[in-house]
Structure 1
Amino acid sequence: MTTARHLATIDQLRSLPFPAESGRTALGYSGVGYHIVELTTSEDFWDDDGTRREIVEDQYEAERDALATLLTARWGEPQVFSLWSVFDRSMAGEEIPDPWGGLSQSVPDVHLWRVEEHWIALGVSQWDKELPFQLVAAVTETDPP
């Protein structure tokens, strides 16, 4: 996908109503008060010695930063919000609302903008070292925990 397509997808998410129940959608995954989309996904790393993984990680972070630059031009400087403490709290048994609980399982931090009544989050996800990287975006009305 191109950066222009990523912007269009984020704009589309901002215009969609939130569903009454969680589930897969044509764009990604949505629930009460949020939408999450995988903007792009790498290949997996099952046979990698770690070199390719580092290159791809750098590439995905650069894509996030480039998209964040365009979003910053629209909405101002983002907050960079760490999700590590959110993940730790969820592992300790605290109930963390989605999308934050779900994002914290694979996204270490997000670039975060408050636009009108929504939060827009942009991050790089990887569930495990052998699994693909994903550039993800979320639109939510739920405040970060």
Structure 2
Amino acid sequence: MDIAQALTVIDRLCSAPLPRQHARTDTGTAGPGWAVAELQTSEDSWEDCSRRQQVREQYECDREALAARLAERWGPPQTFSLYSVLERTMEGEALAEPWASLSHHVVDLTVWRHEESGRWTGLGVSQWDAELPFQLLAVVTDQDPP
């Protein structure tokens, strides 16, 4: 992972106005009050389960390295589990985006709350299904976690 490039994308997300409608962006997806950037994407062929575990561990390490750099700027992060959000959406509760969608493919987020802007910034490792690629995601939103 290129940390400098990832930090540039995160800085751009944090400083840009959040969209008012759903859109595909040059780095990911966005919707009313949120943006998600795909910082890194793995290969998507998983015939070897041990290789899948190695890639997962590498993506977690990359997230931790990026979080350490952001913690130098913003202070220590919180860890926000998306498990209860997933349970609530599966029970039919309508929850705010991007939290509801993220809960279907991200276990937890490393998050910071920016009091001055009212925004949250988060980092997470995504995998939609066992045979699909891992992604390191950055999230910026003005929606509080549910």
TM above 0.5, one fold? yes
Inter-partner Cα distance in structure 2 for 1:22 and 1:39: 19
TM-score by length of 2: 0.95
Q: 2:27, 2:39 within 8 Å by CA — same for their partners in 1?
A: no
Q: Aligned-residue CA RMSD in angstroms?
A: 0.9
Q: 1:81, 1:112 within 8 Å by CA — same for their partners in 2?
A: yes
Inter-partner Cα distance in structure 2 for 1:18 and 1:49: 40
Counterpart amino acid of residue 103 in structure 1:
L
Number of aligned residues: 144
1:38 deviates by: 0.5
What is the identity percentage for the equivalent residue pairs of Structure 1 and Structure 2? 53
Counterpart amino acid of residue 51 in structure 2:
R
Q: List gaps (5 residues or longer) in structure 1.
A: none
Inter-partner Cα distance in structure 2 for 1:136 and 1:30: 12
1:102 deviates by: 1.1
- Of 85-94 and 14-23, more deviation after overlay is shown by 14-23
Inter-partner Cα distance in structure 2 for 1:132 and 1:102: 17
Equivalence map 1:1-145=2 (5 Å): 1-46=1-46, 48-115=47-114, 116=116, 117-145=118-146
Q: 2:123, 2:137 within 8 Å by CA — same for their partners in 1?
A: yes
Q: List gaps (5 residues or longer) in structure 2.
A: none
1:107 deviates by: 0.3
Deviations 1:87-127 (A, max 9, x none): 11001000011110111110000000012321001010000
Q: 1:45, 1:53 within 8 Å by CA — same for their partners in 2?
A: no
Instruction: Give runs of ≥4 in structure 1 deviating > 2 Å.
Output: none
- Of 30-39 and 11-20, more deviation after overlay is shown by 11-20
Q: 1:60, 1:124 within 8 Å by CA — same for their partners in 2?
A: yes
Q: 1:39, 1:136 within 8 Å by CA — same for their partners in 2?
A: yes
Inter-partner Cα distance in structure 2 for 1:114 and 1:18: 16
- Of 20-29 and 73-82, more deviation after overlay is shown by 20-29
1:16 deviates by: 1.3
